[in-house]
Structure 1
Amino acid sequence: MKKSLIGILAALTAGSSAFAADLYQPDPPAYIEAPEIQITESNGWYLRGDIGYAYNKSRGAEFYQGPFTAGLTDFRSTKLKGGFMGGVGVGYQINNHFRTDLTFDYMAKSNFRGSTFGSCGVAGNCVSTDLSSLRAYTLMANAYVDLATFGRFTPYVGAGIGGSYVKWANLRNTSCDASDPSSCDPTFTHGGKGGWRFAYALMAGASIDVTCNLKADVGYRFRQIGKGDMFGYDSVGGGPGRDKGFYSHEVRLGGRYVFGGCDTAQYMPPAEIPIQPSVYK
């Protein structure tokens, strides 16, 4: 009987221990917050520089055929070749999506070739060959919208307005008999003209973060320059002439140095949370 009671007590004691073990749950691990990155608005001054190539398209030209001709006559054909270009500028990043700058660009020598049709000294029906070139200096105020940022890439669109100083070289004009190209007038020279004209531009491209201060820029620009004086009178009174303006498709590669660009992202350390000591039971 005594042995039976001892066995029952042992069984109850073991069951109670097992039940207590089932009720015990270990403490969860201490919660540690992930580091927090606080992004602030990007703003500040920057300097920029660009190089590229402009594919030019003449919009035509017109001239006075002689001293006794009252009206203007259109060139029969005009062709303006492309030219290399470069530019510098200063700008301000207003926020993460909007910036403005003021730029000065120089377009190198672009050759012009045209022709006219009319009477000349050797025949009543003559075709001329007209050769010249131009250079352009453009001052423009621009605004851009940075659309979004994908890793290191930020696509943008923009527009600009300003003026271009177009300087034409002397134009050399040779007129020949349309039916006999070997029969020609002497070559006459017209003095080239220069002047400021209205200009505007549309841009699209992408900025690439090289460092927090330095951004590469790959872009396209469409620029149109208005009409203006092209050449003056020659020695026998022919001329003057005007061009009707031209436009350019430009491929550009450049860079921007942003002052204070490394301060746009700040690391905020997480608040310290004491780690609870482990409890052993």
Structure 2
Amino acid sequence: MTDERLERFEANRRRLFSVAYRLLGEASEAEDVVQDAYLRWERAEWAVSPEAWLTKVVTNLCLDRLTSARARREAYVGPWLPEPVATGAGALDPLETVQQRESVSLGMLVLLERLTPPERAVFVLREAFGHSHREIADILDVTEPHVRQLYRRSRQHVAAAHKRFTAPPEQHRQLLERFLDATLTGDVPALERLLADDVVAWADGGGKAPAVRHPVAGRTAVLRHLLAFTRYAPRIRMTPDVVNGASALLVHLDGALSGVTVVEFDGDRISTIHTIANPDKLAFLAKQRM
């Protein structure tokens, strides 16, 4: 490969990873897809638009993987959550707009599991990367009217289940710190004030780490669930971070990264808690934080 071709690929690597991650919800798989695209780029003839060519290759590689991924996730032990990715370093650009930030949130990535692979591809390419219907049609090798139909269906599915919260990041950070202090000290009144009546806690252990295998719903049940962690308080260190564009806590048990908790707020109340404890899903984030 010539230096020019290599430089052109490297200039697109981060964007290609961002596309693949949004489509798959798995950072390790996204890295594999980008590597496969590199190997194809290495052997291919020079494209008129390398960016468009690479986007098409990555998108279609992801569509192939999504079909088999759905079967694996149906057999997954407990709730399936995406692999967390630290977003402060720009790994999941672009994140300039509300839609782009939401497209990498854990809640949105879980919601996108409801879409068919083509619907998911159209939604991501349109919402997060601003591709036109014509460009998406070229990427997927379908007609433009079909793309418009897929986009309309995907928007309807997402809108029916998605609530948008727009509290300022600074407010999120302050609420997260209050949640951290209350959780570690077992401050029941403080936690009761922070938790919404209909709060839901999800935990992904994948059968490889201790985690509840069903969602915990309601303030009383979630409070009881959180207080169970106080017995580990002397061994736990929690640090605030930004993961998938949202306020998060990195949980270290005896010095090793053992979980990531991402908290979603509705106003000044916690509406959703996502915790990823499956060690396989923490490897990418641990590498980011080395």
* Superposition TM-score tier, normalisation by shorter sequence: under 0.3
Greater helix proportion? 2
Please report the TM-score for the alignment, with normalisation by the length of structure 2: 0.18
Q: Max radius of gyration: which structure?
A: 1
Please report the TM-score for the alignment, with normalisation by the length of structure 1: 0.18
